């Protein structure tokens, strides 16, 4: 649609389509200033629709999040769903769940999306109130909806927003739906309904907040009761400090604590970050993983005397925790460490049967410690591609195979509990962590950090050296990986530093030296860069290009009989990779 038109005509087309006065003024001002360069940036390329939907800064233009691109996405998604239902011979009126968080324009975009689906004859299952992201896929499954839309940009900066899509199975979309939806969006020529108020007027709208809220916390309560049958109602020194980082998490955490039968007075809240605020005024970047994001919470914890800090990101689908150690230092648990702790919660219960049907999952860039736990404790572990679109869908596949998926995680502080929802859920993760902490204190007098050390002593020490490099462009990323594949006189490398590569898996080209036919078990994607290597001393690393940011991400994990030795091995491999594979690219933070 946008490739061949002169920029002036493209700007005219935008003004013909856009009914939002604010974004119209942006384009009109650029036209008046004769700023062809900025018009090209805004209008030439459409915002890409991928497996996570849409995400970008909020500006006028086809390349950004705004009222028009949200309506085009909604209309295209509706067309695609209707076409799929026709192919499958599905009758009846389809329904779609729509939710939104507290970001700038989230409610507005959700209302516009609702109007587009209503105009296409859909029933809209409408929350009409701020929800955390997992509530949308939960409602999709609970009500049997055809799809779900959550308007959120998760932990992105304040200027961003997004449009996250869930399929009728309650999972994020995977191929081929992502490409099919993208094509349907590109085919949208005219907006058939532009209304923020139709959702208040139509008889096809069902308000679902109360029913969904009740059903969700029922499921959460069952998760806790099934997993913590022998947990006491209270223990000494069980207080903690919580921050939702200016997001939507506080009300959900309070209800979760009620389900957990915790004394509400055990939770101290960081008041400066308690209420939703789309400007995130107290943190430079509202992601609990980022350095300094939990600083205010740790200060509050030191004032109130609690030794544990927990946090959700602004849409509360991620979870982070930190513990104050005996020497006064704060230890923030990595995603891999927390994944290990949460996994241990399931295998320490009376209901767990070694060698049974239990399965747990981790993405390929996450810790191999889960696989070691499965090997020694008798449950099945599965590896997936990165992202909960894969963890959720693969978990459902294991259920169809007769297995019982109970937990999945990714190193980027995401944790899924399939009995609740087929998506990462920061509130559910917080509940399981707090229940586990309560049990460890009651049974053995262990804090979460001490429990982690106990697990290391039993399964081995797993330490990582994860980082990322700044890549100037996707072309540079592709050229870098192409060069890596021919470092060894035109063929793939046999060593990294002095360490021999014992396994080479390339999910871009579809090659794996460990399989009989040389083909990977995991899906391949020629449009994304990902290479995984196993080295002779047990170090495993993955290098991949980010799909949403100008980065090359490195995930390096080593295992040894001590933490210091594992860290040394991982850092040695990082040093060798930077020198041999990625020389010239800028390391994060430098």
Q: Which of 67, 154, 306, 471 is catalytic?
A: 154
Rounded to an integer, what distance in angstroms lies between the CA atom of residue 117 and that of residue 391? 28
Structure tokens belonging to residue 459: 């399964």
Task: Show the tokens assigned to 158.
Answer: 């304040």
Nearest 5°: CA angle at 370, between 369 and 375? 95
For 571-584, b/e burial (b = at least 16 CB within 10 A) is ebbbebbbeebbee
Whole-angstrom distance, CA of residue 532 vs CA of residue 555: 9
Question: Which of 305, 339, 345, 561 lies closest to 446, judged by CA?
Answer: 345
C-alpha–C-alpha distance, residues 550 and 334, integer Å: 23
Burial of 78 (0-12, 13-18, 19+ CB in 10 A): buried
Residues in CB range of 365: below 8 A, 6 or more apart: 386, 410, 411, 542, 544, 553, 555
Angle formed at CA 237 by CA 346 and CA 433, multiple of 5 degrees: 25
CA distance 388 to 281: 29
Q: Could you give the CA distance from residue 421 to residue 217 in angstroms, rounded to a whole number?
A: 11
Q: Yes or no: say if 335 and 413 are a contact pair by the CB < 8 Å rule.
A: yes
Determine the length of the chain.
590
DSSP state of 188: -
Decide if 154 is catalytic. yes
Which residues are tagged catalytic? 154
């Amino acid at each position: 649609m946008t490739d061949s038109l002169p920029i002036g005509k493209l700007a005219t087309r935008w003004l013909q389509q856009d009914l939002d006065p604010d974004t119209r003024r942006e384009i009109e001002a650029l036209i008046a200033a004769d700023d062809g360069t900025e018009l090209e940036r805004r209008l030439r390329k459409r915002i890409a629709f991928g497996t996570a939907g849409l995400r970008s800064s909020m500006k006028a233009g086809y390349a950004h999040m705004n009222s028009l691109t949200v309506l085009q996405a909604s209309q295209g998604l509706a067309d695609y769903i209707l076409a799929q239902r026709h192919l499958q011979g599905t009758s009846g009126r389809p329904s779609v769940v729509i939710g939104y968080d507290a970001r700038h324009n989230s409610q507005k975009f959700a209302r516009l999306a609702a109007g587009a689906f209503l105009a296409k004859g859909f029933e809209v299952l409408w929350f009409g109130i701020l929800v955390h992201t997992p509530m949308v896929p939960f409602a999709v499954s609970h009500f049997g909806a055809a799809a779900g839309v959550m308007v959120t940009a998760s932990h992105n900066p304040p200027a961003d927003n997004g449009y996250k899509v869930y399929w009728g199975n309650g999972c994020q979309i995977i191929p081929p739906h992502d490409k099919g939806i993208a094509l349907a969006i590109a085919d949208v020529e005219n907006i058939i309904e532009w209304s923020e108020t139709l959702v208040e007027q139509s008889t096809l709208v069902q308000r679902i907040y109360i029913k969904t809220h009740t059903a969700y916390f029922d499921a959460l309560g069952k998760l806790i009761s099934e997993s913590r049958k022998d947990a006491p109602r209270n223990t000494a020194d069980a207080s903690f400090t919580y921050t939702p980082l200016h997001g939507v998490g506080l009300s959900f955490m309070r209800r979760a604590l009620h389900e957990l039968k915790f004394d509400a007075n055990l939770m101290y809240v960081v008041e400066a970050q308690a209420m939703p605020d789309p400007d995130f005024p107290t943190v430079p970047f509202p992601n609990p993983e980022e350095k300094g994001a939990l600083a205010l919470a740790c200060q509050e914890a030191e004032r109130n005397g609690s030794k544990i800090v927990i946090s959700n990101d602004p849409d509360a689908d991620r979870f982070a925790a930190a513990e104050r150690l005996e020497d006064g230092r704060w230890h923030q648990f990595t995603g891999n460490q927390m994944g290990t702790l949460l996994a241990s919660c399931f295998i320490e219960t009376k209901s767990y049967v070694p060698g049974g049907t239990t399965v747990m999952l981790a993405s390929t860039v996450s810790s191999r410690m889960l696989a070691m736990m499965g090997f020694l404790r008798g449950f099945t572990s599965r590896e997936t591609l990165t992202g909960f679109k894969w963890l959720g869908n693969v978990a459902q596949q294991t259920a169809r195979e007769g297995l019982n998926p109970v937990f999945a995680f990714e190193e980027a502080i995401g944790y899924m509990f399939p009995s609740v929802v087929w998506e990462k859920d920061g509130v559910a993760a917080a509940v399981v962590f707090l229940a586990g902490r309560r049990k460890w204190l009651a049974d053995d007098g262990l804090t979460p950090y001490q429990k982690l050390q106990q697990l290391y002593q039993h399964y081995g020490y797993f330490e990582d050296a994860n980082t990322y490099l700044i890549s100037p462009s996707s072309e540079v990323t592709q050229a870098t990986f192409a060069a890596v594949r021919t470092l060894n006189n035109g063929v793939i490398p046999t060593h990294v530093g002095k360490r021999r590569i014992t396994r080479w898996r390339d999910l871009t080209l579809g090659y794996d030296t460990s399989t009989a036919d040389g083909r990977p078990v995991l899906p391949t994607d020629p449009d994304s860069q990902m290479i995984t290597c196993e080295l002779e001393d047990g170090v495993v690393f993955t290098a991949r290009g980010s799909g949403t940011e100008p980065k090359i991400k490195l995930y390096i994990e080593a295992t040894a009989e001590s933490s210091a030795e594992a860290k040394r091995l991982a850092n040695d491999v990082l040093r060798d990779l930077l020198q041999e594979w990625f020389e010239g690219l800028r390391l994060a933070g430098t």
